[in-house]
Amino acid sequence: MARYVIKRDQGHLPEKLTRYRTELNEEQFAVVTAPPKATLVVAGAGTGKTRAITYRVAYLIEQGISPQRILLATFTNRAAREMLRRVESLTGSQNVHRVWGGTFHRIANLILRRHAVSIGYDQNYSILDSEDARDLISLSVDEAGIDTKAKRFPKAEVLQDIISFANNTDLPIENVIAGKYPYFELLTQQIKRVDAIYQSRKVERNVMDYDDLLMNLKKLLVEKQEIADLYAEQFQHILVDEYQDTNRLQAEIIDLLAVKHRNVMVVGDDAQSIFAWRGAEFTNIYEFPKRYPEAQLFKLETNYRSTPEILGLANTSIACNRRQFPKMLKAVKRSRDMKPALVPCSDVDQQSAFIASRILELRDNGTSLEDIAVIYRSHYHSVELQLELSRRGIPYRVQSGVRFFEQAHIKDVVSYLRIIVNPRDELAWKRILKLIPGIGNVTANRIYESISLSLNAPGGENAPSNAIMRVLGNAESAQTARVRSSKTWQEFVKLLELLVSDEHRNKPANQIAMVLDNGYGQYLLENYENAESRTEDIRGLAQYAGRYESTEDFLSELALLSTERFKEPTPLVGEDVVQGGEEDELLTLSSVHQAKGLEWKAVFIIWAAEGKFPSPKSLREVDAEEEERRLWYVALTRAKDELYITYPLLMTDYNRQTVLQKPSRFVTECPPALFEIWDLEEEPPPFDALPQISGNGREFLN
């Protein structure tokens, strides 16, 4: 057989390479023009990773590689579209749309649409969204014959998370339950049965959920060799963005597709691998050179985002991690002669006051609120700050989330306190009644009517708590008798007795803790996949409530936030704009996880205290401290010009005990010379606001 090699068009390539040299730095140029083989690109924060990937695709096309032989896997379809739009601009090619670009799920769907019949599906299969998948899981629970009321079986949302985590990490369900959901271990066999029914129902109905797209693509590539060979031949070049965030299943798919040409370029930053909790496998990037021994290594270390002082702190901090690809970020920006500010605060109130004051000062000096962010490890760390911002009229958004007091679990717990203070609060009663298994709208209405009648009876007005307990202990209607005889109802009545007892009355912190520890904590485990995070929020709320002398004062403070700045009592929402900013100008509050990939001119990292950041919960797991340090590194590298790190020296817990706070280990492990220590002073009140002292002052002293 004669062999003929098609020669590449070399017409304008030197001219294009010259242009690339002017538009890329040396590190990026080396990545873009790397020879075709397995390649690992360790791209530090702010080093132009996206630019390098975009130019690499353009370079391949200009080298004569057919666009349809290039696979570009990204974590959002929007990112892929933006990259390919830029590639089209660079190359002038009209065929860029033929590049296989998008998320792993999109690419899997494109392949499965062609070959679904080979694995038992029709080509016109439907894709279930999360809500549809939960509904089908609920039907599978019913088919399994499980009495969810008797066994406190996990809700569909939790089952969905268990099944999904098992799929994406390639672990048996029993291992996932033992590791992440040990409180459901006794239900392992029933959960496995539900999963089996769920999987068979999907095939019968010709539907796939999001995880199935990846699972079935792997199945196709493993079981159908002729199809695997087809795509292994087609994808001559594979590029993967954010490789540190891939899970085991995604990495296996890439390896299967790259088996022939092995021209796979993975780009990511091991120092920013922060999603292990949702199945991301840090070892994918760390062990890439083991799976591809021939791999060439490139590093992008020239940072265009942050000042030298901020990068100096970030470099020193991440160097404490043992498992990493060592790198040293170098700043393009000039020094601003301002080190990261370390701001110890006397307590959490002073921390909030400092941040609000400094934000207003920055804005007065020309920094838009849009260019400022407050970052925290856990959402509940922002409680006091949200209150302070509201008082001062500083408009803000919570990045990809709702405001703290608007979250469902916070409103649930606060509703218990509302009925203690005001037994006539119909909305609060119905909210907590419907948390009890077996109680829906109709039964909740009937029970509330009984409570209302009892409160209106002679003597009910004088002792509302007694009236409540009396009516809750009686079963007056056949419809509610079954509910009231159940164990969960008895537990509910016992909880209310505790909340109105002399020991806990007018102690909102104690009451919140009692609600959490007497049933609501279990409710969270059964109903939410992020139950631990929500539990942490409630404990944070209890800690905050410890400063109030009565439950009524605590609830009044929360209620005033909704009314003090408006004519009508409307709830606070993320789009509310008040004095302090233009209509489209909002300060950003964000957890570190939500802040990844974003940047601001000025960043405040709050609660940088031991026991808060790193999270004590996360440190119970193997290698968790290094992941927490990577989180810290991500937080540091969001700042472009100014970085403020704050922590309170004293904290009051929900038992009203004063606790001395230590700075985070991530602060103390870095040399003090890297920080500028700020010593806060409170501005004295205006003279006319001071108390007047007459005579010799003895009256005032007494």
Backbone φ, ψ for residue 640 (5° rounding) = -95, -50
How many whole angstroms separate alpha carbon 637 and alpha carbon 326? 16
242 tagged catalytic: yes
Q: State yes or no: is 218 an active-site residue.
A: no
Cα–Cα distance, 695 to 365 (Å, whole number): 46
Q: DSSP 3-state assignment of 92?
A: coil
Q: Please tell me which residue in 27, 88, 195, 242 is annotated as part of the active site.
A: 242
CB 163 within 8 A of CB 173: yes
Name the residue with tokens 């795509």.
231
50 catalytic, yes or no? Answer: yes
Catalytic residue (one of 50, 76, 296, 522): 50
* Contact status, residue 246 vs residue 270, Cβ threshold 8 Å: no
Choosing from 209, 212, 241, 628, the catalytic residue is 241
The residue written with tokens 């666009």 in the block is: 67
Query: Cβ distance 29 to 254 under 8 Å?
Result: no
367 is a catalytic site residue: no
Catalytic residue of the set 28, 160, 246, 272: 272
What CA–CA distance (Å, rounded) separates 558 from 418?
11
Q: Is 272 a catalytic residue?
A: yes
Phi then psi for 239, rounded to 5 degrees? -125, 135
Query: Residue 46 — left, alpha, or beta (φ > 0 → left; ψ -120 to 50 → alpha)?
Result: left
If you write DSSP's letter for every residue of 491-505 in order, what string do you get?
A: HHHHHHHHHTSTTTT
Distance CA 75, CA 68 (A): 20
Q: Name every residue whose Cβ is closer than 8 Å to that of residue 401 and which is 6 or more positions away in sequence.
A: 379, 591, 594
Total residues found in the chain within this entry? 702
> Among 28, 49, 412, 627, which one carries the catalytic annotation?
49
HEC assignment per residue over 458-493: CCCCCCHHHHHHHHHHCCCCHHHHHHHCCHHHHHHH
Q: Which residues contact 417 (CB under 8 A, 6 or more apart)?
A: 499, 508, 511, 512, 551, 554, 555
Helices (H) and strands (E) in the chain, counts: 32, 19
Choose, from 358, 638, 640, 646, the residue flagged as catalytic: 638
* H-assigned helices in 170-275: 173-180, 188-204, 210-223, 225-234, 248-257
Residues classed as catalytic: 49-50, 241-242, 272, 638
